[in-house]
Structures are given as C-alpha cells and as structure tokens.
Amino acid sequence: MDSLIPFTTSGSLVDCVDRKMLVVLRDGRKLQGVLRSYDQFANLVLEDTVERIYHQDVFAEVWRGLFLIRGENVVLLGEIDLDQEDEVPLRQVEWTVLEPYHKQDVATKKKREDVKSQILYEEKGFCKEGGEGDGY
C-alpha cells in the first residue's frame, strides 16, 4: 500500500537530475537549465542556466551559467520536453530590446496587486503580506 503513495518530498526530484528543467521563482523570474543536484530542502543547482523573459509573442534570454536556487524560492519546477521545445510559437529577440517592455509589465502587475491588496485590507480586513515583493 505504501508503494502507491507518490513522493511529495525532495526525494521525488531524483528522476529529474541531469534533465533540462524550467524553474519559476517567487519573484517571477523564469530559469531554464540542467538540474545537477538538490538537497533535502529542495535547494537546486542548475547548470547552463538561461533566464527568459516574455512579452506577448516574443521572448528573450540571457546566459546565467551555474545557478544555485534556495528551495523556498521555487514556485514551479518542471521538465522541458526536448522534442517539443523547438515547436514553441514564440519569436526570439535580443534581451536589450525586450527588457524595457518586461520591466513595464512587471511594474503594471505590481501596481495592480498593490491596489487589490489595499482593497482587501480596507474592505475585507485581510492583512498585507509579502513586504519583500513576494507574490506567492
């Protein structure tokens, strides 16, 4: 019976080692790299890492190299299907071209979340959380 219970701990990452992974962080950054190692706290080591930003139907990426990620900052971790990776209907542009649009998108989202948080605080009594910009 116990063998039917799926892993819900960092031990479930053992099959992901040496595979290309997508990691979404609490601050919204999206990283792609090869998972080389992890520990019991789900701290991750990514090799050949690139950071991607998106805006509408285009994306840009910048090389980050070896990347150590603290486990508590991981929102999503998923394996990239190498067979379908090149079939994504997005066009790649230079980082410097897309970065101003991405920064504007991030600022707009932050402003919207601040307004929502203020309304929830004033009308519903919810407390304000995530003083460090934590959206999760």
8-state DSSP, 82: T
Tell me which residue of 99, 89, 22 sits closest to 54, measured CA to CA: 99
**Residue 68 Cα distances to 38, 109, 123, angstroms:** 9, 27, 41
Q: Is the pLDDT of residue 2 over 90?
A: no
Of all residues in the chain, the percent with pLDDT exceeding 90 is 59
At 66, the amino acid letter reads: L
| pLDDT for residue 5 is more than 60 | no
Q: Specify the pLDDT at position 124.
A: 82
129: confidence class by pLDDT, cuts 50, 70, 90? low
d(CA 23, CA 90): 19
Asked if 52 contacts 20 with a C-beta cutoff of 8 angstroms, the reply is no
pLDDT band at 1 (very low <50, low <70, confident <90, very high): very low
CB 21 within 8 A of CB 30: no
Q: What percent of the chain has pLDDT over 70?
A: 87
pLDDT recorded at residue 14: 85
pLDDT at 60 exceeding the cut of 90: yes
Higher pLDDT pick, 13 / 11: 13
Q: Is the per-residue pLDDT at 65 higher than 80?
A: yes
Give the mean pLDDT of 30-45: 94
